[in-house]
Amino acid sequence: MKISSDKNLINDHFINPRNIGELADADGVGTAGNSKDGDFLKIFIKIDGDIIKRIAFKAFGCPTAIASGSMTTELAAGRSLDEAAMITSQKVEAALGGLPANKADCSNIGAKALQSALEDFISRDNFKTTRPVGERRVAVAMSGGVDSSTAAALLKSEGYDVIGITMRLHNETPIESSRACCSPLDIDDARNVAARLGFPHYSLDMRDKFESKVIKRFCDEYLLGKTPNPCMECNREIKFKELLKTARQLGAEHLATGHYVDIRHNETTGRYLVYRSVDKNKDQSYMFWSASQEVLSKLLMPLGNRTKKTTRSIAENFDLAVADKLESQEICFIPDNDYRRFLTEYAGYKPLPGPIVNLTGERLGEHHGLPFYTIGQRRGLGITHSEPLYVIEIRPDSNTLIVGSKSEFNTKTILVGEVNFIPFDNLSAPMPVQVKYRYNMSPVDAAVEAISDTEVKVIFDSPQGGVAPGQSVVFYDNDMVVGGGIIE
């Protein structure tokens, strides 16, 4: 990359900008920069099949920014979506002959506006292309972390036609010490990995769908006294439905992620099966109980037979900048991990105090609002007693929190709804299984028996504590996922 610029080329694109103007019938519109106090660029694209047939831009700011917009549109005109998705800031800068050191940031504005326009296009409900689905083409759901980046690198090295897709789920920027995922910064990390490995990268605006299908359900469930799992709902409603649909529109036969789970095809039964990862400390099979056979047939999981340590080593070998990136742990749309604050500020919940009672109805104290408590909670109840007390039930109808001793807290039977089975369609007879009713727990022995096509009863071999309505329960046969559902 040149350090000093070719002033004649930059001046030419500034004085005689290509593709200046607007497109009233644009299929995608993207912006970059700040219109109030700095450089600002807007790009318009018109798509015919899979090709950018027309492109235009408007810009305000310094000559270099305008030249960047002109050169970006010149590079993208007549290109396929994949070719346009690979136009980076570095390529724009190189095409301009380099930039002055104090204007290096201006090269970003053209490529960022183009990527924004492509995002707008593929995020529209009526989005479609004429690109045929390719058997070896795979869309990798890239979160910007080491796992999904390594999955993409492995598939690329195996000869797959890889494209990266990163979902824009919210506008949160990670706060200091936060380890949330899916932020705008993560999109940049994913795009840089794709550029490093040489494949197209798209961002997909899923904010509205994520809000309606994940965030709203999260809030509604908490206000009903349940303990939801938003990551599970994101897999079920967003990744396995919306993202897979977009991948198909972009010509991908498969969708890959960086999850630690093993998916196998049983040649005898013809069904796709889910197994625990070889790395039991990182196993994420719990997250896949809801996947249908149609979805499982399209998924590729390159890390299912690898450990986390091996993954980081592979990332280093591919010279990926995210090789040492910390794992995300918080709920992505609550980066400070304070769901109580989120319920009051986002959902407008106004804390309503009420009684804390035991199973005999004796009042022991006052709670600060039912959504601030979870089943199994022992600390922070604000009451003293001769023995430890746990939250054993939440009753929103009467705004009452029920507490009890450990023996009262335990249960042997739970009702499970929204059930999905993987090796078979329906449970024909009671079946011995191992059960996980929390993500980070060791499976416990139980039996599962059908009540209807969508509900089952789980009978534990020994009493269990901390079973919370709203959480997922997953059934295993040794390392194979039998199915799962939502605790009612």
25 versus 180: the higher-pLDDT residue is: 25
Q: What is the pLDDT of residues 320-341, one digit of tens each?
A: 999 999 887 678 888 888 999 9
How far apart CA 469 and CA 310 sit, in angstroms, is 37
The predicted pLDDT at position 2 comes to 39
Reported confidence tier of residue 101, pLDDT bands at 50, 70, 90: low
Reported confidence tier of residue 11, pLDDT bands at 50, 70, 90: confident
Active site annotation includes 219: no
pLDDT at 393 exceeding the cut of 90: yes
pLDDT at 314 exceeding the cut of 90: yes
How far apart CA 393 and CA 469 sit, in angstroms, is 9
Q: By three-state DSSP, how is residue 52 classified?
A: strand
Cα dihedral 168, 485, 423, 475 sign: positive
* Mean local confidence (pLDDT), 368-373: 94
User: Catalytic pick from 106, 182, 219, 234?
Assistant: 234
* Mean local confidence (pLDDT), 416-420: 97
Asked if 43 and 69 touch (Cβ cutoff 8 Å), the reply is yes
Both structure tokens of 397:
């109808």
Active site annotation includes 231: no
The predicted pLDDT at position 102 comes to 59
Neighbours of 56 (CB within 10 A): 19
The predicted pLDDT at position 96 comes to 86
345 versus 15: the higher-pLDDT residue is: 345
Q: Which of 268, 273, 231, 265 lies closest to 478, judged by CA?
A: 273
In the chain the domains, ranked by start, together with CATH numbers, are: 7-123 (3.90.1010.10), 134-258+302-317 (3.40.50.620), 353-408 (2.30.30.280), 411-487 (2.40.30.10)
User: Catalytic pick from 106, 181, 231, 332?
Assistant: 332
- What are the distances in angstroms from CA 451 to CA 289, 427, 436, 444, 457? 19, 9, 20, 21, 7
In sequence order, the 6+-apart residues with CB closer than 8 A to the CB of 361 are none
Whether the predicted model's global pTM rises above the 0.85 cut: yes
Q: What is the pLDDT of residues 271-302, one digit of tens each?
A: 999 999 999 999 999 999 999 999 999 999 99
The predicted pLDDT at position 3 comes to 36
Q: What is the pLDDT of residues 155-195, one digit of tens each?
A: 999 999 999 999 999 875 544 444 456 567 899 999 999 99
The predicted pLDDT at position 216 comes to 95
Q: Which of 248, 241, 174, 175 lies closest to 210, judged by CA?
A: 241
The predicted pLDDT at position 103 comes to 60
* Mean local confidence (pLDDT), 44-63: 94
